[in-house]
Structure 1
Amino acid sequence: MAVRVAAVRAVAWLLLGAATGLTRRSAVLGAARSDAGTRAMCSEIILRQEVLKDGFHRDLLIKVKFGESIEDLQTCRLLIKQDIPAGLFVDPYELASLRERNITEAVMVSENFDIEAPNYLSKESEVLIYARQDSQCVDCFQAFLPVHYRYHRPHSHDGETSIVVNHPDLLMFCDQAGSRGMIRFRFDSFDKTIEFPILKCWAHSKVAAPCALENEDICQWNKMKYKSVYKNVTLQVPVGLTIHTSLVCSVTLFVTILCSTLILVAVFKYGYFSL
């Protein structure tokens, strides 16, 4: 009799364990299917990067379009981390002036930055741009950054050189504490957090950066995957030719001597000297 009771108890425990395992597996599979369904419904993040104006002083314009409703993005902020190649520079004093006039929110990250150095004595720099919502598009952000060409070495044949502006890093921070999109529940030992759909779809790593331009607090931003409309922006910079070196030096020396002579003649002719 005791053996039969023990056998019944063993079978019951086995059935209970199997049922618990199936329940947990069903929960995990359900969550995975939910994630897959959420990702399937996600629209791509589209980034457009273009350069405006002509000459040695340009404007870099970055536009980002989300397919999500503005209700999902109203508690989110967008930060663009742009690398500036050595052939270009951003004037930190100009950025300070633009911030005072509320035209753009950008700040230099690189230190010991020389805006007068030529291309061959410069290094890449980094700028953080806090994007703003586009007034003409409810699910769009845009960022504006003035950039300038550096001086380049003359070439032997071609009168132009190329500068490649790589795609930026797109960082997003959402205030999850005050959002309706954050729900926490518990099912047995399975704990799950439902976040913003846009983060659930495209965030793939964390990056530490200042929370805002006006303070020094550090936030953990989500680095987002996106699709770019264009390839990397390529700028063509006119440069001098080495075959013109002798001509340019001769003309420069002649003009310098001529102007200096005229100044000296004017000084001795019209100047007043007291002994």
Structure 2
Amino acid sequence: LRVRSLPSLSGLRIWCFCELWCRPAATALIRPLCLFYFKKNLLVLLGIRATCSEIILKQEVLKDGFHRDLLIRVKFGEGIEDLQTCRVLIRQYIPTGLFVDPYELASLREKNITEAVMVSENFNIEAPDYLSKESEVLIYARQDPQCTDCFQAFLPVHYRYHRPHCNDEETFIVVNNPDLLMYCDQEFPVLKCWTQSEMTAPCALNSQDICQWNNMKYKSVYKNVTLLVPVGLTIHTSLVCSVTLLVTVLCSALILVAVFTYGHFSL
């Protein structure tokens, strides 16, 4: 008899593979042993799955106008007994229609309002939508004081300038759901249940240590967040240019009149 364990998807060894190298008369004794081994490990697997409650992520945008706040809330179920030993990292991708001001993030970090840092390099906050690229931000989430099993992350975002349209006075910006990364000092069943992959990132915002984070699978309340941005119409180009030129000439003339009337010149 040769007994070999094969790993399952979660890393738990549950399968009993029996290779019979003896006479057929011994088969009746070996089969019950294999069946017992299989049932025992199957119950262990089902016990772990029973503790795998869903991870719920909710992403919403606060405020009105061209300057918004992106708020991300994460709620864990009962699979983790002590969240104090865990850290949550949000990897948010910012679409081309939005931008995050790195100087604003630095100011917010100094005031201990948020723990977010830009990952993308050569980032231009002045570029219009059609000349910009998608950017990436890492946000170290904090535990929600009003919810023992919840984390939340905050990120200010701003609209970029968009091209005028022919007919529509509004355009759409789609903010996709982020990647949810988790690192715990000890093992929890939820890590084995919902881990999709792993990635390396700093253990904390101001830390030089590198941790192996688990990219977690979650259930999102909303598929994504859609923002409406007002844009100009191309049919108004001539009118806007004419009015702008007229106002510029009038203001320049008024400035010159004021200078020559009230200015004191000495030759």
Instruction: Give TM-score scaled by structure 2 length.
Output: 0.86
Between 1 and 2, higher relative CO (CA 8 Å, sep ≥ 6) is seen in 1
Q: Contact 1:86/1:119 (CA < 8 Å) preserved in 2?
A: yes
Percent identity of equivalent pairs: 75
Q: Aligned in 2, Cα 1:50/1:274: closer, same or farther, shift over 3 Å?
A: same
Q: C-alpha separation between the residues in 2 aligned to 1:109 and 1:29?
A: 48
Structure 2 unaligned blocks of 5 or more? 1-20
Q: CA RMSD in A?
A: 2.4
Return closer, same or farther for 1:12/1:225 CA change in 2, 3 Å cut-off: closer
Task: After TM superposition, list the pairs within 5 Å mapping 1:4-15 onto structure 2.
Answer: none
Of the three residues 123, 129, 151, the one matched with 2:133 is: 123
Of 146, 156, 163, which residue of structure 2 is paired with 1:136?
Answer: 146
* CA–CA separation in structure 1 for the residues paired with 2:170 and 2:121: 30
Q: Which residue of 1 aligns with 2:250?
A: 258
Q: TM-score, normalised by structure 1?
A: 0.83
Is the counterpart of residue 206 in structure 1 residue 216 in structure 2?
no
Q: Distance in 2 between matches of 1:270 and 1:13?
A: 118
Q: How does 1:44-83 map to 2 (within 5 A)?
A: 44-68=54-78, 71-83=81-93
Q: 1:12 to 1:125 in 2, by over 3 A?
A: closer
* Aligned amino acid, residue 225 of structure 1: K
1:236 to 222, 228, 234: 228
**Measured at CA, do residues 19 and 160 of structure 1 come closer, stay the same or move farther in structure 2, by a change above 3 Å?**
same
Q: Is the 8 A contact 1:90 1:146 kept in 2?
A: yes
Inter-partner Cα distance in structure 2 for 1:69 and 1:120: 45
Q: Decide whether aligned partners of structure 1 residues 14 and 244 sit closer, same or farther in structure 2, where only a CA change above 3 A counts.
A: same
Deviation at 1:15, TM superposition (A): 9.6
In structure 1, the gaps of 5 or more residues are 1-10, 177-194
Q: Is the 8 A contact 1:39 1:200 kept in 2?
A: no
CA offset at residue 68 of structure 1?
Answer: 2.1
2:113 pairs with 1:113 = no
Q: Residues 73-112 of structure 1: matches in 2 within 5 Å?
A: 73-112=83-122
Separation (CA, whole Å) in 2 of partners of 1:77 and 1:249: 53
Matched residues, number: 247
SS at match of 1:127: strand
